Amino acid sequence: MRAHGGALVRLRNLVRLREDLGPAEIDRVDRQRSVTIVANLLPELPLATAVAHVNRVAAQLDMPPLYNVQWTGRAKTLAESNINFLLAFGLSIVFMYMVLAAQFESFVHPVTIMLALPLTVPFALLSLMWLGEALNVYSMLGLFMLFGIVKKNGILQIDYTNTLRARGVPRDEAIRQANRVRLRPILMTTVMLIFGMMAIALGQGPGSGSRGSIARVIVGGQALSLLITLLITPVAYSLFDDLRTLRPAWLTAVAARMRRLRPRRSEAQVAAVESPSSPRPPRAAQL
């Protein structure tokens, strides 16, 4: 080694060399050193169960503050899919409420119909447990399809109940008649759906796993929750109708004051609307 002045200096006078073990390469994630551990799952072990078990083991290691566990690959995709499912679930509830509110022109009837939706989730998960299925992306899609089917049953009941009440039928009698009349189409569509999905649920071959998960959620959730969803909708309809008739006095006073604050048209404006000065042009004859 040559020094600054040009003289030769031995390297051992400056450094000490020794052999030691070290990593062949250093991997980094987010500018931090990382060690990747890859493992294969047993065929009967779900990915979510394995992730939860590894998290419990990592929590017992009492790692220093700079050490943490981050998932990649299928485990990371599973965590992202769960978050996206919750987001999609919330947005679907909002969109269904908006569509039903526009259809029935009411803010109460959509809530009456959608009260049956949370009851289908436990029954769908229970059917997955009985069949030995895991909750995956395809079964989540089956849950959304199940929501649409259950919502359709409530729409049939509420729509015909409102039709009967518009004809002058009392509320309780309208509820009983609507449930009796709509029971047949609801059972027909439900039985048709279940038998149509049985072929997909029991099918084998390429892609049968994904299609089977969707079908099993729909079959199990619809078959187990049919009776409860048929009962909860008319009961909720009557309860909300009672609450609407028993409106508090302060709410009635606020509604009356809002009506008084609404701008009124003058007599001249009313007369101009009722009898306009310029006559309307006659319609053209249709040939």
Q: What is the pLDDT of residues 182-212, one digit of tens each?
A: 899 888 888 888 888 888 877 777 766 677 7
Class of residue 192 by CB neighbours under 10 A (exposed 0-12, middle 13-18, buried 19+): exposed
So what's the pLDDT on residue 64?
Answer: 83
Write down the domain spans for the chain: 74-256
Angle CA 86–90–94, to nearest 5:
165
Residue 187: C-alpha distances to residues 74, 116, 117, 190, 231 (Å):
40, 16, 18, 5, 14
So what's the pLDDT on residue 274?
Answer: 45
Three state DSSP letters for 151-164: HHHHHHHHHHHHHH
**How sure is the predictor about 1, in pLDDT bands with cuts at 50, 70 and 90?**
low
Asked if pLDDT for residue 278 goes beyond 50, the answer is no
Mean pLDDT of the chain: 78
Whole-model pTM: value is 0.64
Q: Class of 74-256 per CATH?
A: mainly alpha
Average pLDDT value for residue range 223-248:
80
Residues 117-170: tens digit of each pLDDT: 888 888 888 888 887 777 777 788 888 888 888 888 888 889 999 999 989 889
Q: How many other C-beta atoms can be found within 10 angstroms of the C-beta atom of residue 115?
A: 18
